[in-house]
Structure 1
Amino acid sequence: MLPNIDVFKKTMLSKGYTFIELLFYLAFLTALTLKCFYFQFTTRLNIPPFSHVLNVKMVISTIGVILIIASFIFLLFNKKRLWVLLIVNIILSTVIIADTLYFRYYNNPITIPVLQQIGLVGPLGDSITNLIRQKDIIFVLDLPFLLAGALILKRDRLLGFNKLKRLVIFMALFLIGVASFGVVYANTHKDIFSFDKNYIAVRLGILYYHAEDTKSFIKENILTSRSVSQEERAAIDEFFSSREPQGTDFNGFARGKSIIMVQSEALQEFLINKTIEGKEITPNLNSLIKDSLYFDNFYFQAAGGKTSDAEFLANTSLYPLKEGAVYFRYPSNTYLSLPNLLKAQGYTSASYHAYDPSYWNRSTAYRAIGFDAFYSRDDFEPGEKTGWGLSDAGMFTQALDKTDTSKPFYSFLVTLSCHYPFDDYENYDFDVGEFEGTFLGNYIKGQNYADACIGILIEQLKARGLYDDTLLLLYGDHYGIPRLEGGNDLMKFMGVKNNSFEWAKLQKVPFIIHYPGLKNGQTDNTVSGQIDILPTIANLMGFEAPFAMGKDLLNTDKGYAVLRNSSVITDRYIYWSKDETIYDIQTGQPAEHGRYDDELEQYQDQLKISDIIIQKNAFK
């Protein structure tokens, strides 16, 4: 007897659809894994060889997380499961795209606190366009094929499963996923999670990074009390009671004098006294240094808040947050800041920045920091436009015009001209030789222009009688060269190997203090950072800053800088958290870990103390 043709056709058709559905699942798993793999290696979070045990673990963990996600989709959705898989794929792809673009600029994947600052995306439009690569098309190549598969297996052709079968398939996928992820998770140092989120992505993949970030956000912002516990209060008290007492060298040396502090956009220390094609890159800064006290081992400590973090460090002597900007997350806290401390001494204070007042939430945060006035874009007359707005030269001149110099004042000048991505300087007339047309070349041109503006500021100060009658400070806010964009050219320019040790040493910014008789023309090699600015000023002005976390650079023999990612630089070693390696500062070779473990923990504990103070508003 011949088999029923209709039954045969239906059976074969059903097998065909089952095969296509199987391909759909494999495509979902493979595509997401490849996108995560692409993110991890193009950002250089993970580096070749691909067979390295760290990379293998990352891939295993990533596959495990994807299987866990797929298992719950299979359990919760029946005939709509493929459409849900497609939607989840689109959502996760969008997140990884955001991670990729954000990382290329900030050297970190995106976080929930950063998403709360989504308003910054508009002004960063040009920067975002500059960050996109043609090869990023990999993020969307799979979507047409998955959409086609979902349409072929539309609802009336997609077989439903009874609850028992769905439960069995869910358990199989879930257990395989948990086992894969769990093996890797069990062999990671969870105590580092709170310091270095990149550590999570490197070892467990970008998908789990977001799960951990979400868990941390909920814990810190919803489940955690804002009240300071007795244990936390004791930790804060112990830290400040153990700090070095205020020194006597140069104490009150500039008492009663006005203060002008310049935060220079993306200015790195490697440019100082450097020439290219026979010309100085920063001639005006070099000249100022010859007449000032210069710190050449001064590290930037800004994190995801970039420029705003540097402002916060310099004015409060607290560390920035590991995620998001303090200006957005805690803009109304009580801060024992430089403007507030100076106010008690009878000073007025003002901040000047020729950009949108809402950017980085400055208009709100500056009130908490204690500035009496904030002059932003709308407060300046139109003038020469460079980069994002009014040139630094125009901002400097107008800021001095707005300053009441008849009484002690503190002016905080935040520059803007040399801002990423530096494309505006591609045709600027400064010869950068072999680096013409490169990211590094444009950056050098931009900083040469910014240096010319500093020259105008110095001329203005001298003409107004302020140069020798004012405490003048200048420092860089953060790096200008991201490792992924200009790192290779920078290492070539500096004539050093492209490795973690040499890269760490380049994460310095200049710090200059000018005041007549204050070690003029001398260079101080003390390892230091932006958190040390406030206590150094306090000593020079002759008042106490008992709750500054930094050290007075004129009265210390302790050279160290703690970075927000938990890296630590001292005058003896560099601990680089990304590869968890300690390098001897003299040889650049890996040093014995156990020798410095206790000291490292003490330095890193400062980050915890600072976090408690900020998150619990402990100074209120």
Structure 2
Amino acid sequence: MKNLKNRITNFLNTKLGFFAFAVILCWIKTYLIYLTKFNLGVHGSMQAFLLLLNPIPTTLLLLGIAIYMKGRKSYVYMIIIDLITATWLFANILYYREFSDFLTLTLMKGSSSVSNNLGKSILGIIKPTDFLAFIDILILVILLAAKIIKIDISKLNKRIPTTITAIAVVAFGINLTLAQQDRSGLLTRTFDNNYIVKYLGLNSFSVYDAAKAAKTSAVKANADSSDMNTVKNYINNNRLPSNVQYTGVAKGKNVFIIHLESFQQFLIDFKWDNQEVTPNINKLYHSKSTLSFDNFFNQVGQGKTADAELMLENSLFGLPEGAAMVTDGTSNTFQAAPAILGQRGYTTASFHGDVPSFWNRDNTYKSWGYDYFFSSKYYKDKKDYNIGYGMKDKIFLRDAANYVQQLPQPFYAKLITVTNHYPYLLDKKNQTIQKTNTGDSTVDGYVQTAHYLDQAVGEFMDWLQATGLDKKSVVIFYGDHYGISANHKKAVAKLLNKKDFDNFDNAQFQRVPFMIHMNGLQGGINHTYGGEIDVLPTILNLLGVKNDDTIQFGTDLLAPKRSEVVAFRNGDFVAPDFTKVNGTYYYTKTGETVGSLTPEQQQKVEQMSNRVDTELSLSDKVITGDLLRFYKPKGFQKVVKKDYSYNKNKSLKRLRKQNHLKKNSIMMQNHDKSLMNLYHTDAPELTKQGG
């Protein structure tokens, strides 16, 4: 035993021995983090084996670089390389915790557009065990500093580092071959980053992601009009006629889009502490003048809110990596709702209580054809007016109403709320419902911010009624994405009083509200399955806008015989009969895993999967190739971005000029007198000043 100990000690005191020890520590650490920090959906012995194997090739390859160095440099470079990979692993642990995805190059390129107010979010995400990502480095540094392991400055035979590199390459080849056998088309057809990490590891995913980003850039440069033909043919072959019963029922009406931040369907009629969490939205949901959809799903990817906006106003899916609004919003050609309606006499405006650069809105909105963008620059700024990601909803909606009353009619106005956003912070003076008691800090504050959002919506709707705008408008509410991610399953199970909360439950949990409210509308609760991709064609039909030659991947939610397969960004889907999650099929009605399929069922699920993959792929091509520059629907005029400016002074001057020219805003119809005296709020920040 003593001889064995001496041999091990002597080996560790060699450069090769230290390298081997560093590789083993990094491998074990990475594997344990894969198991405990990520939800990779490992099924079967082969996937379990590949998860164990995949850290080894890249660890050998990266740390092996240091073996080529001479003397002490070899040890220094080994520590530095290990520190870089550990930092990358740590960053992904934090990002994955809230977004169930991994960091990509595209996402990081756009980080300047989304980094505002992230400090509190990050502090709320970090757990002490996350720092285990650096445990191997700490061990190595301590052993070297204490001289328990001595630095070996002797030269290695040149064949040794070359052999290590060769072993790493061969090991990766074996890993990739086995992975491709278990998951056909792993690198060519997958839409889920979890698959790449599960099979090949985080470092390999990063290389794959960088190569994919470079390829995407080349695709745009090489795209031409012929690439549009495939997309156009698919759209035309799958286009369905809209529901004629609802065609034009909102023609000439103002359109309000109320963006309910992080608002999930389960909040509808949900009670906590014997109190309705969202009484105002509940009332709207059940109104006879509201079309409500109880099987409407968010379909966002990494872009979250940005993806939701993209789908809502373009009927194009978000990208598999990053946010298209950030990567392509400035340069691409779009045929979005603001441009479509703006060319039909609508005044178009978006309202958001945060900085204009968030998600690159100040540039993307010009590409979409928004006449006005009322960002945080347009509102009074006081310290207690803001929380988290911008203005508190009650203050924001009240201040936004001041500009709404000045918009020439008809108008298309999107109002983006933000208070109900992670990490669900709310000051005590605005808390009017108790936190839930799941013990999860991310989950427990959710009902408080949702309740506050609901109160703000109620105040805004009261103002619409007081001014008469409710009779002249159609008001559309939608939840942009989930508020509670899949990393909080235990807390969600407790919140919903369920024994368990599995992957199937989480897929169903992606329901968000979609409601169309208008006086005289034939409402009710509609059970069709749909998602955010379907909003634009639905709205256009209600407004009576011809929509038979556009490039849109959604269908009118009210159309008869429509496909009810709802695609998720990672290639999964949900439909009335089958749900697909991580390659596993479930019966949607029961949640039971599908065993052996009949030939008819097998054909059906394959058709569903093919449809989802095809539409995601074609939509990606439209964006990455900027293909809409090669196609123009009849009567549509290409948006000229330089014609738009969101400079406050210029915008307000232009708004006043339009007001006096058209004389049909509600304020001008009120003899150019403000109607803000009709807006009532109990926001403590405002009531102190007389509201």
| Structure 1 length-normalised TM | 0.91
Letter in 1 for 2:281: L
For the 8 Å contact 2:257–2:477, the answer to whether it is kept is yes
Letter in 2 for 1:560: V
Q: Which residue of 2 aligns with 1:566?
A: 571
Q: Does 1:131 align with 2:130?
A: no
Q: Which residue of 2 aligns with 1:90?
A: 83
1:256-301, CA deviations, whole angstroms, 9 ceiling, x for partnerless residues?
Answer: 1110101111000001011122211110001111221101110001
Which consecutive unaligned segments of at least 5 residues does structure 2 have? 1-5, 630-691
1:163-211, CA deviations, whole angstroms, 9 ceiling, x for partnerless residues?
Answer: 3444345434543454355434543322565411111112222222112
Q: Does 1:466 align with 2:469?
A: yes
Alignment of 1:366-445 (within 5 A): 366-382=365-381, 384-403=385-404, 404-424=406-426, 428-432=431-435, 434-435=437-438, 438-445=441-448
Of the structure 1 ranges 310-319 and 196-205, higher mean CA displacement relative to structure 2 is found in 196-205
1:466-490, CA deviations, whole angstroms, 9 ceiling, x for partnerless residues?
Answer: 1122010010111101122x32121
Alignment of 1:417-566 (within 5 A): 417-424=419-426, 428-432=431-435, 434-435=437-438, 438-484=441-487, 486-496=488-498, 497-520=500-523, 522-545=524-547, 546-558=550-562, 559-566=564-571
Q: Which residue of 2 aligns with 1:190?
A: 185
1:429-451, CA deviations, whole angstroms, 9 ceiling, x for partnerless residues?
Answer: 31345447743221011101111
Secondary structure, aligned partner of 1:32: helix
- How has the CA–CA distance of structure 1 residues 17 and 194 changed in structure 2, closer, same or farther, with 3 Å as cutoff? closer
Alignment of 1:137-156 (within 5 A): 137-147=131-141
For the 8 Å contact 1:268–1:479, the answer to whether it is kept is yes
Q: Which residue of 2 aligns with 1:6?
A: none
Q: Which residue of 2 aligns with 1:9?
A: none
Q: Does 1:320 align with 2:318?
A: yes
Letter in 1 for 2:577: R
Alignment of 1:106-185 (within 5 A): 106-119=99-112, 120-147=114-141, 157-172=152-167, 174-176=169-171, 178-180=173-175, 182-185=177-180
Letter in 2 for 1:570: A
Give the distance between the partners of 1:65 and 1:407, measured in 2 at CA.
60
Of the structure 1 ranges 404-413 and 100-109, higher mean CA displacement relative to structure 2 is found in 404-413
For the 8 Å contact 1:35–1:93, the answer to whether it is kept is no
Secondary structure, aligned partner of 1:447: helix
Letter in 2 for 1:446: T
For the 8 Å contact 1:236–1:609, the answer to whether it is kept is no
Letter in 2 for 1:262: I
Q: Which residue of 1 aligns with 2:92?
A: 99
For the 8 Å contact 1:387–1:418, the answer to whether it is kept is no
For the 8 Å contact 2:256–2:476, the answer to whether it is kept is yes
Give the distance between the partners of 1:181 and 1:235, measured in 2 at CA.
32
- How has the CA–CA distance of structure 1 residues 172 and 336 changed in structure 2, closer, same or farther, with 3 Å as cutoff? closer
1:382-416, CA deviations, whole angstroms, 9 ceiling, x for partnerless residues?
Answer: 36434433221221122121123442111110001
Give the distance between the partners of 1:174 and 1:343, measured in 2 at CA.
56
- What is the root-mean-square deviation of aligned Cα atoms in Å? 2.7
Q: What is the CA distance between 1:565 and its match in structure 2?
A: 0.9
- How has the CA–CA distance of structure 1 residues 397 and 320 changed in structure 2, closer, same or farther, with 3 Å as cutoff? same
Give the distance between the partners of 2:408 and 2:151, measured in 1 at CA.
83
Give the distance between the partners of 1:14 and 1:27, measured in 2 at CA.
10
Q: What is the CA distance between 1:154 and its match in structure 2?
A: 11
1:191-242, CA deviations, whole angstroms, 9 ceiling, x for partnerless residues?
Answer: 5654111111122222221121122122222476441363552243232343
Give the distance between the partners of 2:628 and 2:533, measured in 1 at CA.
17
Letter in 2 for 1:504: A
For the 8 Å contact 2:436–2:447, the answer to whether it is kept is no
Secondary structure, aligned partner of 2:628: coil
Letter in 2 for 1:128: I
Q: What is the CA distance between 1:536 and its match in structure 2?
A: 0.6
Give the distance between the partners of 2:79 and 2:203, measured in 1 at CA.
17
- How has the CA–CA distance of structure 1 residues 45 and 229 changed in structure 2, closer, same or farther, with 3 Å as cutoff? farther
Q: Which residue of 1 aligns with 2:285?
A: 289
Give the distance between the partners of 1:172 and 1:550, measured in 2 at CA.
49
For the 8 Å contact 1:17–1:153, the answer to whether it is kept is no
- How has the CA–CA distance of structure 1 residues 385 and 14 changed in structure 2, closer, same or farther, with 3 Å as cutoff? closer
Of the structure 1 ranges 173-182 and 22-31, higher mean CA displacement relative to structure 2 is found in 173-182
Q: What is the CA distance between 1:18 and its match in structure 2?
A: 5.7
Of the structure 1 ranges 187-196 and 135-144, higher mean CA displacement relative to structure 2 is found in 187-196
Secondary structure, aligned partner of 2:135: coil
Of the structure 1 ranges 306-315 and 150-159, higher mean CA displacement relative to structure 2 is found in 150-159
- How has the CA–CA distance of structure 1 residues 373 and 334 changed in structure 2, closer, same or farther, with 3 Å as cutoff? same
Q: What is the CA distance between 1:135 and its match in structure 2?
A: 0.8
Give the distance between the partners of 1:502 and 1:514, measured in 2 at CA.
29
Q: What is the CA distance between 1:46 and its match in structure 2?
A: 3.4
Give the distance between the partners of 2:30 and 2:152, measured in 1 at CA.
32
Give the distance between the partners of 1:475 and 1:215, measured in 2 at CA.
36
Q: Which residue of 2 aligns with 1:257?
A: 253
Q: Which residue of 1 aligns with 2:635?
A: none
Q: Which residue of 2 aligns with 1:611?
A: 620
Give the distance between the partners of 2:21 and 2:169, measured in 1 at CA.
18
- How many aligned positions are there? 603
- How has the CA–CA distance of structure 1 residues 142 and 408 changed in structure 2, closer, same or farther, with 3 Å as cutoff? same
Give the % identical residues. 26
Which consecutive unaligned segments of at least 5 residues does structure 1 have? 1-11
Q: What is the CA distance between 1:363 and its match in structure 2?
A: 0.6
Q: Which residue of 2 aligns with 1:275?
A: 271
- How has the CA–CA distance of structure 1 residues 154 and 27 changed in structure 2, closer, same or farther, with 3 Å as cutoff? closer
Secondary structure, aligned partner of 1:158: coil
Q: Which residue of 1 aligns with 2:29?
A: 35
Give the distance between the partners of 2:456 and 2:97, measured in 1 at CA.
28
Give the distance between the partners of 1:288 and 1:536, measured in 2 at CA.
19
Q: What is the CA distance between 1:127 and its match in structure 2?
A: 0.4
Secondary structure, aligned partner of 1:475: strand
Secondary structure, aligned partner of 1:309: helix
For the 8 Å contact 2:70–2:153, the answer to whether it is kept is no
Q: Which residue of 1 aligns with 2:51?
A: 58
Give the distance between the partners of 1:17 and 1:437, measured in 2 at CA.
47
For the 8 Å contact 1:71–1:169, the answer to whether it is kept is yes
Letter in 1 for 2:213: F
Of the structure 1 ranges 391-400 and 18-27, higher mean CA displacement relative to structure 2 is found in 18-27
Give the distance between the partners of 1:498 and 1:34, measured in 2 at CA.
29
Give the distance between the partners of 1:377 and 1:253, measured in 2 at CA.
34
Q: What is the CA distance between 1:81 and its match in structure 2?
A: 2.7
Letter in 1 for 2:319: L
Of the structure 1 ranges 415-424 and 230-239, higher mean CA displacement relative to structure 2 is found in 230-239
Letter in 2 for 1:351: S
Alignment of 1:5-44 (within 5 A): 16=10, 19-44=13-38
Of the structure 1 ranges 131-140 and 34-43, higher mean CA displacement relative to structure 2 is found in 34-43
- How has the CA–CA distance of structure 1 residues 172 and 588 changed in structure 2, closer, same or farther, with 3 Å as cutoff? closer
- How has the CA–CA distance of structure 1 residues 230 and 150 changed in structure 2, closer, same or farther, with 3 Å as cutoff? farther
1:593-613, CA deviations, whole angstroms, 9 ceiling, x for partnerless residues?
Answer: 733112320222111111111
For the 8 Å contact 2:256–2:474, the answer to whether it is kept is yes
For the 8 Å contact 1:300–1:509, the answer to whether it is kept is yes
- How has the CA–CA distance of structure 1 residues 237 and 162 changed in structure 2, closer, same or farther, with 3 Å as cutoff? same
| Structure 2 length-normalised TM | 0.82
Of the structure 1 ranges 595-604 and 13-22, higher mean CA displacement relative to structure 2 is found in 13-22
For the 8 Å contact 2:15–2:151, the answer to whether it is kept is no
Secondary structure, aligned partner of 1:208: helix
Q: What is the CA distance between 1:139 and its match in structure 2?
A: 1.6
